[in-house]
Amino acid sequence: MTGGQPRTREQRKVDTLAKLAASAADAWVATAAVDAGGHASSYLVPLSLVWIDERVVLATEASSVTAGNITSQGGVRLGLGPTRDVVMIDAELEHVYSLDEVPAGLARGYAAQAGWDPRESGESMRFLVLRPLRIQAWREADELPGRTLMRGGAWIP
């Protein structure tokens, strides 16, 4: 799958941005929570992912475990693509919008890229705007060195 040589950091960034901007992009969204008794639980769901202004935007039901975990913990881990061409993103929650307060441009951008409009779902939805802190991308073991493309919210040159 690598074509014989590992990709350069520049090519990995180009490929990663293409994945993030793809129509109908999906991601595995991993969250965690700790209950009052100190017991940890993890949760993994697939959601549509949209890339707007260097931010990941997810939309999910307000009452979902995912929305609750992200808003209470403030962070999330996302996985895009197959295991032999993966992008991993660690992100922090920047903003939560209900349907009646979401900026029109954000909602339109989400609908255009995701291929569906949460405002028309009939559900109590939330738009979660996430700021990437770390982005990694690799295909095979030969791409493990240099897999970190973003650290501390800044692209590595």
User: What would the pLDDT profile of 28-37 be if each residue is shown by its tens digit?
Assistant: 999 998 888 8
How many structural domains compose the chain? 1
Inside any domain, residue 143: yes
**What CATH number did the domain enclosing 39 receive?**
2.30.110.10
Which pLDDT score is estimated for 4?
A: 77
Cα 81 to Cα 75: distance, rounded to the nearest angstrom = 20
pTM as predicted:
0.93
The domain of 115 spans 9-155
Inside any domain, residue 23: yes
Inside any domain, residue 4: no
**pLDDT tens digit sequence for 69-120:** 999 999 999 999 999 999 999 999 999 999 999 999 999 999 999 999 999 9
Inside any domain, residue 72: yes
Which letter, b or e, does each residue of 128-152 get, where b requires 16 or more Cβ atoms within 10 Å of its Cβ? bbbebeebbbbbeeebeeebebbee
Residue 3 has pLDDT above 70, yes or no: no
* Paired residues of 42 in beta bridges: 32
Which pLDDT score is estimated for 1?
A: 47
Residue 2 has pLDDT above 50, yes or no: no
Backbone phi, psi, residue 109, to 5° = -65, -40
